[in-house]
């Protein structure tokens, strides 16, 4: 029961994993700062990191995607 209470109090976070399923980064917060998206977290579980995604870089990222990958991203949240 105590573990369930601790899990309920834990703030939401997202993990980014490498090819061997080891944690590269833990994202603790995603927020807006003007026209940029600010991502706050830790790299390798130790080093604090703040990254900014600008509109120009977001457009550049979209150019990296093909139709098949876009479809995968749209359906990703509904997969197990």
| Mean pLDDT over each residue of the chain, to the nearest integer | 90
Asked if residue 10 has pLDDT above 90, the reply is no
Q: Exposed/middle/buried for 41, CB within 10 Å: 0-12, 13-18, 19+?
A: buried
Range of the domain at 50: 2-76
> How many distinct structural domains can be found in the chain?
1
Reported as a single tens digit per residue, the pLDDT across 16-54 is: 999 999 999 999 999 999 999 999 999 988 899 999 999
Q: What angle do CA 9, 52, 42 make, to 5 degrees?
A: 40
Asked if residue 8 has pLDDT above 80, the reply is no
User: What is residue 1's three-state secondary structure?
Assistant: coil
Q: In whole angstroms, give the CA distance from residue 29 to residue 12.
A: 8
**Do residues 31 and 12 lie in contact, with contact meaning Cβ atoms separated by under 8 Å?**
no
């Amino acid at each position: 029961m105590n573990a369930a209470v601790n899990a309920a109090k834990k703030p939401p976070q997202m993990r980014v994993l490498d090819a061997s399923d080891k944690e590269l980064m833990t994202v603790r917060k995603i927020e807006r700062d003007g026209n940029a998206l600010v991502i706050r977290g830790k790299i390798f579980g130790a080093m604090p990191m703040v990254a900014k995604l600008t509109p120009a870089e977001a457009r550049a990222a979209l150019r990296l995607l093909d139709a098949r990958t876009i479809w995968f991203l749209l359906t990703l949240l509904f997969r197990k």
